[in-house]
A = this chain, B = another copy of it.
Amino acid sequence: MSEPLQQLKERLADIENMRAATAILEWDQQTQMPPGAAESRARQLGTLSKLAHEMFVSDETGALLEKSAQALNGADYDSFDASLIRVTRKDYERERKLPPSFVSEMTQLTALAHEVWAKARAEDNFAAFAPTLKKIVDMKRREAELRGYTDHIYDALIDTYEPGMKTADVAQMFNGLSKELVPFVAAIRERVDQVSDKPVHQDFDEDIQRRFAEMVVSQFGYDFQRGRQDRAVHPFCTSFSCTDVRITTRYERDWLNPALFGTLHEAGHGMYEQGSALELDLHGLRGGTSLGVHESQSRLWENVVGRSRGFWTHFYPKLQAEFPAQLENISLDDFYRAVNKVEPSLIRVEADEVTYNLHIMVRFEIETDLLAGSLTVDQLPEVWNAKYHQYLGITPPNNRLGVLQDIHWSGGLMGYFPTYSIGNLLSVQLYEKAVSAHPTIPEEITQGKFETLRGWMTENVYRHGRKYDPTELIQRATGEKLTPRPYLNYLKRKYGEIYGV
């Protein structure tokens, strides 16, 4: 190996280890840390992220990258070394674009904004949040200029979460979705009483909930030898190596869904992280290539698998055995319908598979107009409510249940929302590709067997870690670009049958 490449790898290994340590401290903060330790933990995280960032964006890293690239000139595109240089150069250029003074200004603004937003939401007072949100929009515009773009200013922001994805691609995706989804949702809205979710609203012992969900994800292939599950107020998945990938969940005693489907969801993220090839572990190439591809895996295992009739054919008798008093008189069909109830509602995080993407579309349209300057912050509540009426047929009675509901904008996260919909679409696109390669998959699911499905995902998605950017990965795995067609067909087939529309 060339001397600069060796030095680069050692440097990147140190940076990866510092970032892993940061993630461990954050996991601990969310799941284990005693309440009195908040200030000291903030200091520790500050030092770790500062040192890792300084080490990464230093001129020395840049020089080693250039020398290594020259030494590797002509190396196989798919090789580990060529991929390391290609991906790390992009990361390096991306991180160098924002000067430290800008990052620090943004950190201070969003720290303050979080408090302002939380208070404004609690008091249902949009006017109290508006001045701060204006500052954030201004800073995101400055950020976009610093990052650079060719077509739409919003491109610069999407690119930080979904490298290579353009505003025009996302707009086209939502266009394709909404044409068919809006009337489909309207038709279901006429028949919401066809499905009752009473079966999942009963008293369920938390420890049994935990055992059952952990049994299911173990069968999926989430490896507890290289992971664990803990409680967290806002569940998440995090990883410090492909050998240490941890998930979290929360329990509601009178509602089965949060812990059950939440665990399936986080385990989907977890299997993606655990599936990285071991050789990617040391220098920052492990893990998911983008938020959207990551979300495709959480939604695949939560919804496409975990809310399917085949899945419950196998697992419902086991769940009944765990909760006989609650479930023995409820049929498989009624339970299947209960976990798939659709109802246009105001809150994104509680939305079902059918309406979820319409919630996202509202936010995407608003964000692009805000960034482009064709919409002002003061107009937001009115525009928000009009779009909810237009797409979902309901109107928020106040801003707390409307434009103030999400934490994202107060944290400076703009360009992030589309990744949720990209994940939804991609979950079905990848699943159908896997089934066309292995037609036995649906039958295996009805037997509680998931090796074939997980094996295909590992081969085509997981093992590559961050080697390929999302557009490249999707093309390689499915032979085409991201498309809403499979997802639309899936929704219409599944929910057409459930609701008779």
Contacts and interface: CB of A to CB of B under 8 A. Distances in A.
A376 interface: no
A21 B21 contact: yes
Interface string A32-43: 111111011101
Given A20-B44, A24-B24, A33-B244, 19 more contacts: A13-B43, A14-B47, A17-B46, A18-B48, A21-B25, A21-B44, A21-B47, A24-B25, A32-B32, A34-B224, A34-B228, A34-B243, A34-B244, A36-B226, A36-B244, A37-B226, A40-B243, A40-B281, A41-B240
Interface of A: 13-14, 17-18, 20-21, 24-25, 28, 32-37, 39-41, 43-44, 46-48, 50-51, 223-228, 240-241, 243-244, 246, 281-282
A74 B224 CA distance: 59
Contacts of A224: 34
Contact of A47 (B18, B226, B243, B281): B18
A243 B38 CA distance: 8
Contact of A225 (B24, B35, B43, B44): B35
Given A18-B47, A21-B44, A48-B21, A36 B243 contact: yes
A34 to B, nearest CB: 5
Given A17-B43, A20-B40, A28-B24, A34 B282 contact: no
A24 B44 CA distance: 10
A143 B495 CA distance: 74
Determine chain A's interface SS by DSSP, over half rule.
helix
A54 to B, nearest CB: 11
Residue of A36, A224, A241 contacting most chain B CB atoms (<10 Å): A36
Contacts of A244: 33-34, 36-37, 40-41
Nearest to A227: B34
Nearest first, the 8 A-B pairs at minimum CB distance are A40-B241, A37-B244, A17-B47, A36-B226, A17-B44, A36-B225, A36-B243, A37-B243
Nearest to A31: B32
Contact of A240 (B44, B47, B282): B44
Contacts of A21: 21, 25, 44, 47-48
A388 to B, nearest CB: 43
A224 B225 CA distance: 30
A115 to B, nearest CB: 22
A420 to B, nearest CB: 29
Contacts of A13: 43, 47
Contacts of A44: 17, 20-21, 24, 240
A466 B243 CA distance: 38
A241 B28 CA distance: 14
A270 to B, nearest CB: 11
Contact of A28 (B28, B47, B50, B282): B28
A446 to B, nearest CB: 31
18 contacts: A17-B43, A18-B48, A20-B44, A21-B48, A24-B24, A24-B25, A32-B32, A33-B244, A34-B224, A34-B225, A34-B228, A37-B226, A37-B240, A37-B241, A37-B243, A40-B241, A40-B244, A43-B282
A34 B228 CA distance: 7
A222 to B, nearest CB: 11
Residue of A21, A225, A240 contacting most chain B CB atoms (<10 Å): A21
Contacts of A43: 13, 17, 282
Contacts of A41: 240-241, 244
A17 to B, nearest CB: 4
Contacts of A228: 32, 34
Contacts of A243: 34, 36-37, 39-40
